Copies of this chain bind each other. A is one copy, B any other.
Amino acid sequence: MTDTRGTSFLSDVVAIVGRSHVLTDPDAMAGHLTDWTGRWTGAADAVIRPCTTDEVAAVVAACAAHDVAICVQGGNTGLVGGSVPPIEHAGRRPLVVLSTVRMTDIDEVDTRGRCVGVQAGATIEQIDSRAAEHGLRFPVDLASRDSATAGGVVATNAGGVRMIRHGNTRRQVLGIEAVRADGQVLRRWTSLVKDNVGYDIPGLLAGSEGTLAIVTRVLFRLVAPPVSTIVTVAAVRHVEDCFALIDAMTERGLAVEAAEIMTDAGVELVHEHGVRRPVAAHAPFYTLVEVSGTGDVEAVVIDVLDEADVVDAVLEPGPARDLWAARERHTETIARSSTTPVVKLDVSVPIRALPEALVELAAIADLVDHPCRPILFGHVGDGNIHVNLLDVPEPRAEELTGRVFGIVAANGGSISAEHGIGRAKVAWTHLGRSEVDLATMRAIKAALDPAGRLNPGVLFG
């Protein structure tokens, strides 16, 4: 890693961030080279941990000068291999992991403008706690909130359980600070609700998975939490019954804060691991709906449930953590219940196609000649299904992934609802994007990162 001018790249970056923040020892780097599922692992020449935008800019400039590629890493909680580097191979240019682990500053909350500026490495939990001190809430919530970072949720345009109410992460980004591949700092930072001056660069960076620029700071919108909420779990025969329930709530003027779906297989599995069944009766599906409103919300919900076609239902004032537990414990329980690494696929279909798609996905084991236990759950209001395939022999994971994506594409759906493409889904992007669309994306990539040094192998093959 010494260029033609004879200066050493590593000594350059040590001069920028300090020796203790340039890791080259294999043991010290190990945690940065494998994702939490254990499915994605890679190699890097160093892990660099800057602590300010200026330091990131200087590191990126040094990478540009020495033609070093960069893998950007936040909380490393992604599920598609986007936050770990590729495996080393002959001819590969040098690569470093740029970790935002030290970039955890959170600014004062602007209570009037309802926004807060944060560094890329602040976690969702940290941001939400700071907002809560002022009676506000960070609008994005997801199970990995303790580790997932601002930069990571922006880079992947994360969804989560509050998306039906507040929209995706892209929608929460009021301002952004990012370092371009050439080391220049792009800053668009105003707490303006409306600002139509040219292209939506913050929106373009959101969901770009670190391939266009490195997000270093974000100005996030905050929201007022609902005054009072009611959480209900209903056992239903058909997916359409979930829709009817959500529609009835909406028609009564209630705001839907979350709308989740689970299957009997999932609820039973979680129950076997010690979580109380939310309702005693069994049914093919269970929907958890959290609503808010004015006046006697509970009375309205009881009215709606009385008229709804449900097998059984319970309700409780929010936060109703025990009702939520049946849904939230799915991921952890599934991980503990499979004899092999779980094949985890995050897909979406048009709302109208959801009933049929769930039937087809639940029957996936019939399509293959080896054991495969599907557990499906997700955000029913968004048409978003988390497909979890347990007990799949490792060599068959790819085949099953293709089967799932085939069902999704045939139903007009997306192979990535909220987790992104990363390295895991690159081979299947043609299922959801036309050649012209992909060529347009590549043209934008080439315009902003002509040497292809930012997150090589992510999003594009």
Contacts and interface: CB of A to CB of B under 8 A. Distances in A.
Counting chain B CB atoms within 10 Å of each CB, which of A157, A199, A206 scores highest? A199
Instruction: Provide the main secondary structure of the chain A interface.
Output: loop
Interface in A315-351: 348-351
B417 A253 contact: no
Given A204-B204, A251-B227, A194 B433 contact: no
Interface residues of A, number: 91
A436 B187 contact: yes
A436 B206 contact: no
A437 B199 CA distance: 9
A427 interface: no
A157 B195 CA distance: 10
Interface in A274-322: 292-297, 300
Interface stretch (A91-99, A167-175, A391-399): A167-175
Interface stretch (A5-13, A37-45, A444-452): A444-452
Counting chain B CB atoms within 10 Å of each CB, which of A198, A293, A296 scores highest? A198
Contacts of A250: 224
Given A190-B412, A253-B293, A295-B300, A441 B352 contact: no
Interface of A: 110, 112-114, 156-157, 159, 163, 167-168, 170-171, 180, 184-188, 190-201, 203-204, 206-208, 212, 224, 226-228, 243, 250-255, 292-297, 300, 348-352, 379, 381-384, 412-421, 425, 429, 432-434, 436-441, 443-444, 446-448, 459
Given A110-B350, A157-B196, A204-B204, 17 more contacts: A113-B350, A167-B167, A168-B194, A171-B171, A185-B436, A186-B437, A192-B383, A192-B412, A197-B415, A198-B207, A200-B206, A203-B203, A227-B251, A255-B255, A294-B294, A294-B295, A295-B296
